[in-house]
A and B are shown apart, each in its own frame.
Chain A
């Protein structure tokens, strides 16, 4: 194997709702071997579950299927393989739609779609509980039985093995459910370089590459605090590409001529994003130590990473459980100078008195002034009297849906029955939203791994 060999993995989506032109630019820019697309976050699974409960064929990222219809022929021509967790809570439905989209795009007879499923534990939850898997809340220690009736979705974060298997079987596109975000990057590396599961350091390097890739442009200048005002051409920001060597060292870069910037600082900001204990970054395949990362800024939008160390994986997988936990709604009104904040605070007092008189029950009523304290709270101090305007933002939360419904009718009346110089109510009544609370748990890995299935389908 040549020491100069690199595998180039491009990131095309950092979340469900990211820039839909970015993956097209990544493929059309050329020179990449893989395109990874991350669609899932903690709350995404419960949103998809809700969609699926209304329509059994839904429950995955439909944008992905529309995207593939555009880029499938070019990916096949260039040999770019796609790895994604777009399947959400319905990877089978996603793969079916992808096969149909591939035929419409003209790649029928020459493309293969890999499907990974079995991470969804909803159908076997009681069986698992009965056989002694407590699925206790990792943060509070409470047993799942406390909220069993409210559970809406339960998915295990799964690792690289089934993705590697699908790639080994020749899949051009691999669709999974709740694959760990980072696995979408390091699984192709394990497939390409044949890294063994106990090659902890190299897999840990792949995890770091995955952590950098998984939020799209957040490492190439997006949401970057350092010198943000001079980062060029953000309208056509380049998404990251990691160029990984067989020894696990890699360079973070982006397509030449694209916007944004890759520097030591832009990459460092992404490394610390959503980080816990940096010495203990746990994934299904390895525990990576982020304090061993060495960064070297090579200039020209190239940052090299090397020296990453890892330790053996744990005996557990994390399970992401969403359960219904009541209702909420948020209403807003805008007050103008003079004394904007005083008017908004007065309106808030009137509103709260009306809610009290109606005898409504809330677990929480929260008031924020957008334009003053809704981002930094008490750190913002007292608002000045000459504030040009402020938006009153009141949110309520309750296990009683009727109370939340009634709250949504109490905002607009303030326009004619409260303090003056108020506007910004054209959007109508606030929407009542169901709360999906998050219940993280651990499960013995064998309980999940025996259920995982890999299928490869011809388009």
Chain B
């Protein structure tokens, strides 16, 4: 097994509802969905975010999309116009989660190197 950052295996989008941020994580390869399900437990996701998430982490499964949806409660400094955060609407909790390290088989790690990142030499 090898440790890799989640960004290699999944893309994600996040949004807000009150003081709760949601992060939907979608496997690039549907075959990796079970691996994500096993690795991304609510407890581990909560531990990953640490002080950024004051409340519980809930997880919902969408096997039809190869996706997991996480609700991060108490993550937005009160939410809406109450929040003093730059990211008051939780738009980038998605990439915050993609920083997480997970354990994957060596072959998966090797096959996904560089995935999710701008290719070398690319310019706008």
Residues of chain A whose beta carbon lies under 8 Å from any beta carbon of chain B: 42-43, 46, 139, 223, 225-226, 229, 265, 268-279, 290-295, 325, 328, 330, 364, 366, 368, 370, 374-379, 393, 395-397, 433, 435-438, 440
Contact = CB atoms under 8 A, between A and B. Distances in A.
B62 A223 contact: no
B81 A436 contact: yes
10 contacts: A272-B22, A273-B15, A275-B24, A276-B69, A277-B60, A325-B82, A366-B85, A370-B86, A378-B50, A396-B84
A229 to B, nearest CB: 5
Contacts of B118: 229
B84 A268 contact: no
A225 B13 contact: yes
Contact of B86 (A290, A374, A438): A374
B62 A290 contact: yes
A435 B17 contact: no
Interface stretch (B37-45, B87-95, B103-111): B87-95
Contact of B17 (A276, A368, A376, A378): A276
A294 B66 CA distance: 11
Contact of A378 (B16, B26, B51, B69): B51
A306 to B, nearest CB: 11
B113 to A, nearest CB: 16
* Most chain B CB neighbours (cut-off 10 Å) among A46, A275, A433: A275
A435 B62 contact: no
B18 A139 contact: yes
B26 A265 contact: yes
Nearest to A439: B18
Contacts of A225: 11-13, 94-95, 116
Interface of B: 11-19, 22, 24, 26, 28, 48-52, 60-67, 69, 71, 77-82, 84-87, 92, 94-96, 99, 116, 118-119, 122, 124
Nearest to A274: B15
Contact of A226 (B28, B51, B67): B28
A438 B96 contact: no
B65 A295 contact: yes
B84 A229 contact: no
Contacts of B12: 225, 269
Task: Give the most central of A278, A293, A374, A440: most B CB within 10 Å.
Answer: A278
Contact of A375 (B50, B80, B82, B86): B86
B15 A291 contact: no
Nearest to B67: A272
B124 to A, nearest CB: 8
B24 A272 contact: yes
B47 to A, nearest CB: 12
Given A42-B80, A272-B62, A368 B50 contact: no
Contacts of B50: 378-379
A271 B67 CA distance: 10
Given A272-B67, A272-B69, A438-B80, A375 B96 contact: yes
Given A226-B28, A437-B78, A274 B22 contact: yes
Given A271-B67, A375-B96, 17 more contacts: A43-B80, A226-B11, A265-B11, A273-B13, A275-B22, A276-B69, A291-B62, A292-B64, A295-B65, A364-B77, A366-B85, A376-B99, A378-B50, A378-B51, A436-B80, A438-B18, A438-B80
A253 to B, nearest CB: 19
A328 B83 CA distance: 9
A290 B61 CA distance: 10
Nearest to B68: A272
Nearest to A434: B81
B32 to A, nearest CB: 14
A272 B80 contact: no
B84 A366 contact: yes
Contacts of B15: 273-275
A276 B24 CA distance: 10
A440 B18 contact: yes
Given A272-B26, A436-B80, A376 B86 contact: no
